[in-house]
């Protein structure tokens, strides 16, 4: 159900045309299904469902931006600004994406805010934040593909490998850190604490790997994207 519901959230968001509403619609498509898995005590199912949700958002945001690249700002919150920043990086190799001194503090801030929201709101406020970040990325990738000589290749390369690692890590952190409050509210079945620690540790290792890979590979990846766009 999570895939068709997420697709429906984009259809509704496009029809309504309020960028701030789309992340809320995205969250409504998935949050109840995460809770349902946790009520069964199945943490891995909850994480798997939310990864599938994130993948669906990535595909939908990319395809919508590809179909109407210069109207995507009317759907994706802060999509235009992120797209402009990333286009400049692809064209010149200069920007936050290739500057660890810039992107490491930004990513640390995002991870801290996301984690705090997950703990304080049982994930209910963290998930819209995650949706905003996913939609920004999709806006950039889809718009870049629309302006490229090899759009399919750009759609693949545009989802940088370190970004995919970060998405999986954020999803895992969001699910695990939502559990304490859900447990206190007696909304979910308590899951083995060791399993929570293992998943959280893997997610944190993912965030570290994201930074390390991005620091090393971003300049090389920018050259791949530049060739694929044909600019």
Give the pLDDT confidence of 110-126 residue by residue, as tens digits: 999 999 999 999 999 99
Q: What angle, rounded to 10 degrees, do the helices at 161-184 and 126-146 form?
A: 160
Q: 96 is in which domain, residue-wise?
A: 2-229
What confidence score (pLDDT) does residue 184 get? 86
Task: Measure the CA–CA gap between 80 and 70, rounded to whole angstroms.
Answer: 9
Q: Name residues of the chain where pLDDT drops below 50.
A: none
Task: Measure the CA–CA gap between 109 and 163, rounded to whole angstroms.
Answer: 16
Which pair of tokens denotes residue 92? 């010149």
What confidence score (pLDDT) does residue 72 get? 78
What confidence score (pLDDT) does residue 138 get? 96
Task: Measure the CA–CA gap between 182 and 190, rounded to whole angstroms.
Answer: 9
Task: Measure the CA–CA gap between 29 and 50, rounded to whole angstroms.
Answer: 11
Number of domains in the chain: 1
Give the pLDDT confidence of 2-20 residue by residue, as tens digits: 999 999 999 999 999 899 9
What confidence score (pLDDT) does residue 115 get? 98
What confidence score (pLDDT) does residue 53 get? 98
Q: 11 vs 53, 87, 106, 146, 149, CA distance in Å?
A: 15, 26, 31, 20, 28
Task: Measure the CA–CA gap between 32 and 93, rounded to whole angstroms.
Answer: 41
């Amino acid at each position: 159900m999570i895939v068709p519901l997420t697709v429906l959230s984009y259809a509704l968001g496009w029809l309504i045309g309020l960028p701030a509403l789309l992340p809320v619609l995205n969250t409504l498509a998935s949050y109840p299904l995460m809770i349902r898995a946790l009520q069964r005590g199945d943490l891995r199912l909850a994480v798997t469902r939310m990864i599938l949700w994130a993948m669906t958002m990535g595909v939908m945001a990319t395809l919508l931006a590809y179909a109407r690249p210069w109207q995507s700002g009317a759907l994706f919150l802060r999509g235009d600004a992120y797209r402009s920043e990333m286009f400049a990086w692809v064209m010149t190799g200069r920007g936050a994406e290739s500057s660890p001194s810039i992107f490491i503090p930004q990513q640390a801030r995002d991870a801290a805010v996301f984690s705090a929201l997950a703990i304080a709101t049982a994930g209910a406020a963290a998930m819209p934040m995650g949706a905003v970040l996913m939609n920004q990325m999709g806006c950039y990738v889809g718009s870049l593909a629309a302006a490229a000589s090899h759009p399919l290749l750009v759609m693949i390369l545009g989802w940088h490998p370190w970004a995919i690692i970060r998405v999986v890590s954020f999803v895992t952190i969001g699910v695990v850190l939502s559990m304490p409050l859900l447990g206190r509210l007696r909304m979910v079945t308590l899951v083995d604490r060791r399993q929570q620690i293992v998943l959280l540790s893997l997610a944190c290792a993912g965030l570290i790997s994201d930074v390390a890979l991005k620091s090393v590979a971003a300049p090389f990846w920018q050259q791949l994207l530049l060739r694929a766009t044909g600019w």
